[in-house]
Structures are given as C-alpha cells and as structure tokens.
Amino acid sequence: MLTSMRESFEVEVFFDGECPLCVREIDMLRWLDKKQRIRFTDIAAPTFDPATTGLSMTTLMDRIHGRLPSGELIEGVEVFRRLYGAVGLGFLLAWTKWPGLRALADWGYRTFAKNRLRLTGRCVKNEDGVCAIPVK
C-alpha cells in the first residue's frame, strides 16, 4: 500500500518498502496503530512521487522522514519518537530527548541509516566501490 488515504493523522512516515528491517517495524506500527494516527507512505512503490515531499529520492532513501499535519518535515530519530508516541509507546523513546543521550541516539540512527543497505543485503556498489542507494 502506497499511502493510507485518511485525511487526519498525527504523523506521516515515508518508509522504504523494499527494506526488510524497515518493513518489519512498519508492520508492527501498523498493527499497533489502532486509532489510525499514522499515515504510511511507501517511497519504494512505483506510484510514489518524491516531488510531493519537496525532497529528492536520494534524500528520502538516506534516512527516514516524516511529515506532520502542518506540512513540517521531520527526519531521523524524531520520526520514531512521533511514530511511537502516536501508538502510545512514546515512553520507550523518551530517553532520546535527554541531553547527551539525544546525541547518542541520533548518532546511532545515522550509523544504522548509512549502513542499512549493506546490513539488509541490498548494497549496490557504484563505480567508486561505495555502497550506493538504488535510485529509480
């Protein structure tokens, strides 16, 4: 499913539907989202148009992004805080707002995001031998 068509939502998440780890977490969030507060948008779907976000596909693939009802874009750990908050589990990520630990959480996510293609077996090396994000 590309996008849930509900008009009202607390947070929209732009996720890579071809990433096994990402899909596992999104499936869990869909299951937990009993009050339908999250809009799920699969950026790997053939009908997805990155222009709707104002971001490039490369930027969207580099790290997780979200959008608030106001249209404000968010990224990284903040997206997860909003997603978990929307399903009533915000307390699990409350520590990621604390000084010091916030920087650690951000670093940890950036490290994962930078390596997720390799970790999930989806790495395509470019001409420089660097793991590249496959852009359609």
In a domain, 6, yes or no: no
In a domain, 5, yes or no: no
Rg (CA), the chain: 15
Q: How confident is the model over 54-112, as pLDDT tens digits?
A: 999 989 988 999 999 999 999 999 999 999 999 999 999 999 999 899 999 999 999 88
The secondary structure of 27-50 as a DSSP string is HHHHHH-TT--EEEEETTSTT--G
Q: How confident is the model over 9-23, as pLDDT tens digits?
A: 999 999 999 888 889
CA dihedral 38, 39, 42, 47 (to 10 degrees): 170
In a domain, 3, yes or no: no
Q: How many domains does the chain have?
A: 1
Q: Looking up tokens 């590309």, which residue turns up?
A: 2
In a domain, 113, yes or no: yes
Q: Domain span at residue 45?
A: 11-132
In a domain, 50, yes or no: yes
Choice between 1 and 8, residue whose per-residue pLDDT is larger:
8
Q: How confident is the model over 110-123, as pLDDT tens digits?
A: 988 888 777 777 76
In a domain, 94, yes or no: yes
In a domain, 79, yes or no: yes
In a domain, 2, yes or no: no
pLDDT at 131: 66
pLDDT at 68: 97
Instruction: Evaluate if pTM is beyond 0.85.
Output: no
